Amino acid sequence: TEVAALEAQRAVDAGASAGLLYPSHGWLRFGYQKGAPQDRYRVVYEESGLPLILFQYPDVTKATYNLETMLDISAQPGVFAMKNGVRNMRRWDTEIPVIRRERPDLQILSCHDEYLLHTAFDIDGFLVGYGNIAPELLLELLEAGKAQNYVKAKAVHDRLLPVTKAVYHRGSHMEGTVALKHALVERGILEHATVRSPLLPLEPGAEEEIKAAIREAGIKKVVI
């Protein structure tokens, strides 16, 4: 936490206006003591003054916060938003309405690249890697979700589905990071999709599959 606070102060000195505060990664293996996440956010904000985004980790990890912890953190000074990536739609459907009711001023951001449609109706924005691939369509989906226009949202979802499947419906979500680069190459944003260890290249044929999905969705190259 001390290191996180120092990094937050460095970010402030460099001009940052907000920070996404990750859980301590020791919690991934063993979980956290009750009250420890709340203390982490308190210390980082008090020592840096950097406004913070609460980061909810996937339900399959031991670093995921229970509802009580999320409500506590989101009530603390300096916490203005939540990036929720719980990846358990039962929890999403039961916890998000409670958070909305109890913390009406909290901005709720979905980071569910593979569950955009499901989460689009309950949020203030997306904070997703997918936004690098097709920000134009994600803005359309977000606007439809805010308007509670399911027909429009489903149409955008269906258009994106080939890309979603090619990039994010893979064996590991980490493969999506590699696939994302191939999508950015197809859009003309990156020159190549080279990755560094511990990431590995995708299997033969994956690059063409991703490029074909981008074309099928009608997503054009970007003029830079």
Q: What are the residue boundaries of the structural domains of the chain, listed by start? A: 1-111, 135-218
Distance CA 150, CA 153 (A): 5
**Over its length of 224 residues, how does the chain's per-residue pLDDT go in tens digits?**
999 999 999 999 999 999 999 999 999 999 999 999 999 999 999 999 999 999 999 999 999 999 999 999 999 999 999 999 999 999 999 999 999 999 999 999 999 999 999 999 999 999 999 999 999 999 999 999 999 999 999 999 999 999 999 999 998 889 999 999 999 999 999 999 999 999 999 999 999 999 999 999 999 999 77
The structure tokens 């913070």 sit at 52
Distance CA 193, CA 61 (A): 29
Could you give the maximum distance between any two Cα atoms of the chain, in Å? 50
Reading the block at residue 78, the tokens are 């300096």
Report pLDDT for 192: 96
Amino acid at 16: A
Fold adopted by 1-111: TIM Barrel (3.20.20)
Task: Report H helices in the chain.
Answer: 2-13, 27-30, 36-48, 67-74, 89-102, 116-119, 130-133, 135-146, 150-168, 173-186, 206-216
Q: Please give the C-alpha separations between residue 175 and each of 112, 197, 199, 207, 216, in angstroms, as whole numbers.
A: 15, 12, 8, 12, 21
Report pLDDT for 223: 77
Distance CA 138, CA 119 (A): 12
What letter would DSSP give residue 113? G
Report pLDDT for 224: 73
